[in-house]
A and B are shown apart, each in its own frame.
Chain A
Amino acid sequence: MPKTLRVEKYSEALSALTKKAEELGVYAIGRVQDSQGRSISINNGRLEGISTGSAVGIGVQVFTKEGYTGFVSSDQVTPEICRNLVETAARLARSASGFGTETNKAAFEIESNGVHTIATDYKTLAETSYDVQVKELSEANQRAHSYGDKLSIRSRHGVGDAHWRIVRSDGTDISFDMPTGSASHGITAPGGPGGQAVSVGATVSGPDSSVLLSPEFQERWELRTKKAIGLAQKLTTAPTLKGGNYKLVIDYALAKGLAHEAFGHASESDGMETSILGSNGKMRLGETMGAEIVTITDGPIKGDYAYQPVSANGMPRQTVDIMKDGVLMAGLGDLFSAGRAGVPISGAERIESYRNLPLPRMTNIRITVKDPVPFDTRFEEVTPEELRAKLVEAGFIKEGEQALYLAGYTGGQVMPKEGDFVFNCVAIYDLSQPEPSLYQPAIFSGKVLSALKSIMGGLGPLHLDAQGHCGKGGQSVPSSGGSHSFVVLERNDNVFIGGGA
């Protein structure tokens, strides 16, 4: 049964907001947030802390008829405060007009998205026992310690239950929730003689405390933990790889990084004037931008860590094939810039909190390739040796050919205006021999379009739970995505692995 959303109680305040806007002759968008969160940390068997938090507030963006805009926010959501906020935002917008600020009338050109609520039925915080969470997390921490020697392990579990309500002057009034849950181990393997300490992580994510409490998630987390610990212990003495251009095999988490950093940001409509996917401010729709086997899709998935069904401007979030069979098909379009970027509005606006301004950005982004090679071994249990054998069997690499397997994603960064991206991995294996050699991680950098054109194929089923946070515009929002278990990239002069000289 869908949960009751806490934002329902702000109807009077929001009615006062839209009425005041009408009185002042301005268009207003109100964004109410009512969030609760809880996090637990176990450090080397000791309960380090339980912290709880909540956030309530409203952001109000006002547009004058000429399209001048002002924004205000407050942590009080009452009728009187809402009326004041509209007045202040309208004053800011009008005063700014004298300085030649930019106008945007997009809000006046859309129709109401109606009045409705989209609520999930995932567990609320009130339905989740602290004692059970602490017990399970403690046991997980204890088990993780048993998988290696002299390990230091900090285990964290966080759940969040954010409720939102977006109202607009056109009558739109939509409420929704964005539940999140994660369980992770931060694992440090000490450096022995001649070795350095190494830190790695193992994480599962989803919509609530089930990430910690359900057998399905527990088993997945356990497998990832064992794999991470094994890798960390070997990495303490692993050598550094020689930097250069190589044929690459990346796992699905790295493929998510490639999709997110190398492509997703460049497809966001607010940056199209300077994006490499744009020309004269318009998205280069219809142009071939990647290998013809490649499709890149972004959209919310219920139960996913980055799920968001409605945009921060109250538009339905759509699932979009940004690239289809190598051809650029659509952008991540928000209300304010989709038109000038020449793409449809896809409801891509997201915000970290009510205090922020919406920006178009990704939710769950994934790379799919045509006719992936079947690979039935469970992803967490694939060894480098087995992967190499499968790659040879499928014809992706020849015996003795040098190819690198990049395992695990630790984050990335992009400059969409220049098309440069980097991301990093946990470890690198050289697959040229039947017993792959392990190397230290190194930065993977390149040019967006070159990387996408280099994709040769994929192996295994889709995995879409590579979880992280995106920091665009200084706002952190959950992000996720993935691909087939493994994706193969042909050697390319514009795709580069750092390392030693």
Chain B
Amino acid sequence: MSETINENPYVEKLLDLLRKAEQGAWANVPKLAGWRLSVSEGRSVTLSIVDNKLGDVYGPPTARDSLGGGIYLIWEDNKRTSTSLDRRTLDEFEERLVEWRASAFDEEHGPAILEPRTYPDVPMFDEKIKTLVEGDTTLFFQILQQGYKELRASGAEFVDAGASAGSSSSYVRNSKGLNVSYSSTSFSFSFAADSIYGNGYSKRRMYPEGEVERIIEDVKVTTARLKESGKYTPRPDGDRVVLEPGVSGSFLGTYLLGNLYGSGVANGQSAFKLDDFKEGKQVTRSDMTLVLDGLRPYEFSASRLTTEGIAGGRQALVDKGKLITPILDLKYSGITGFAPTVTGGPYVEIDEPEKTSFEDMIKKVDNGLLVYSLLGMHTQDGTSGRYSVGAPKTLVIENGELKGKVKATLAGNFFDNLKDSRTAFGWDPHEDNPAMEIHCQVIIEE
């Protein structure tokens, strides 16, 4: 579903001022030779439960209005400026222009302004959410109160929860005639019990029927399991460890995706070199593909175009285990010689005759662990592949059954895990990316 976008007075006035700057209306700065900008204006509303307290000072009903964006300027001497836009930019335009010029610099491989092209129309807007954002947020209270009551009744001592919705209009323009406007919405809610386990919903459209109940039930069941204590004796040669989809995503984000950014690759700050991409180096098992996909309807990753004007789409970064391309904006496209990449979310695809469900994956583990959360992932050095992380919410798996919680520390090298023939994947129908079973060193903290 898309919405007709009216002209935005802020954007129209800004375009008028930029056109004047192109014509040299301000003598104290050079003329502009080109520009591109993106502006987003919208409102978001939220409500929270913090430590059992609904809507108190730390999570009251809120409404936030904002306008913001970014602008990239090319001056007539080819110097470049990159800066943010805010509400006052219009009133202070001449002053800002002088400041922007002061911060202009010679940008090696500075990109040109792109000609307009065709952009996909990805569904990102839900009228029901816009209505909620602009009006009555009773639904928030209903969702949170339902979760609170059910979780407390199930034995949770403390419940934390939140609900939020947003609606915004975005405008992408450039000096070559690019003129794209679109609306998007967002809706999310989440519940957590006793700071042990949480789950939630987050999309660009309203949740489907039964989703609130499904998530509350998952929090109830998983929290109860994580409250039972378990025992586990690690093996000296490593253990079978199942990473639930969110945890698996955290590993993939840090060690695989984090090494694919063009700036890092081109400047030697990644585990992968540019030549690795040119040669199609095998970095994961050959049944694994990683794509950027901006075309999935109503996902947060949905995107029509980048602020530079690259059309949305779907593109492999790693195909059948081989490096295909780094993630590149126009500048690093010019530096590396690869085409610029689309914008979108990262998704793992596994070439397998039949998808194994997350539940079946656990059933296949005779003796191992299921990890629900990590502590310290953000402190890891992603370029080395090595990890040493806390896993405080971990269930023991015995003969395919879940048997109580232990606190573990995991250590290993994720690059080795990605190539390991024993690594397996399992799919939860409510998650975009798979759970992973890896083998690594485990230490149990008593």
Q: Which residues of A contact B (CB under 8 A)?
A: 38, 43-44, 46-57, 61, 68-76, 88-89, 92-93, 95-96, 99-104, 130, 134, 150, 152, 154, 186, 188, 190-191, 196-200, 240, 243-244, 270-271, 273-274, 336-337, 355, 357, 359, 410-413, 415, 417-418, 420-424, 440-443, 445, 473, 493, 496, 498-501
Contacts and interface: CB of A to CB of B under 8 A. Distances in A.
Nearest to A232: B381
Closest 6 CB pairs of A and B: A101-B55, A152-B268, A424-B379, A102-B56, A498-B409, A53-B84
B107 A413 contact: no
15 contacts: A54-B88, A70-B61, A73-B65, A101-B53, A196-B413, A198-B384, A199-B269, A274-B51, A336-B58, A355-B66, A412-B376, A498-B409, A499-B441, A499-B443, A500-B411
Contacts of A188: 268-269, 383
Contacts of A61: 57, 60
B445 interface: yes
Given A154-B269, A198-B384, A93 B60 contact: yes
Given A51-B84, A54-B86, 20 more contacts: A47-B107, A52-B100, A70-B60, A71-B62, A72-B64, A73-B64, A74-B64, A96-B55, A188-B383, A198-B381, A273-B51, A355-B66, A413-B378, A441-B388, A443-B379, A445-B409, A498-B389, A498-B411, A499-B388, A499-B441
Contacts of B326: none
Given A130-B102, A273-B51, A199 B83 contact: no
B197 interface: no
Contacts of B106: 47
Nearest to A89: B63
A471 to B, nearest CB: 9
Given A274-B158, A274-B195, A92 B379 contact: no
A359 B58 CA distance: 7
Interface string B378-399: 1111111110111010000000
Contacts of B107: 47, 49
A424 B88 contact: no
B388 A69 contact: no
B330 to A, nearest CB: 13
Given A102-B56, A197-B384, A501 B392 contact: no
A52 B103 contact: yes
Interface string B269-310: 111000000000000000000000000000000000000000
B54 interface: yes
Interface string B69-89: 000000000000111101110
Interface string B84-108: 1011100000000001101111111
B189 to A, nearest CB: 15
A443 B380 CA distance: 9
A423 B409 CA distance: 12
Given A47-B106, A56-B86, A445 B375 contact: yes
B375 A52 contact: no
Interface string B136-158: 00000100010000000000001
A101 B178 CA distance: 48
Interface string B409-443: 11101000000000000000000000000000111
Contacts of A51: 82-84, 103
A420 B375 contact: yes
A101 B60 contact: yes
B11 to A, nearest CB: 15
B379 A96 contact: no
B57 A357 contact: yes
Contact of A44 (B58, B268, B382): B268
Nearest to B53: A102
B236 A501 contact: yes
B410 to A, nearest CB: 8
Contacts of B195: 274, 415, 417-418
Given A75-B67, A443-B390, A92 B269 contact: no
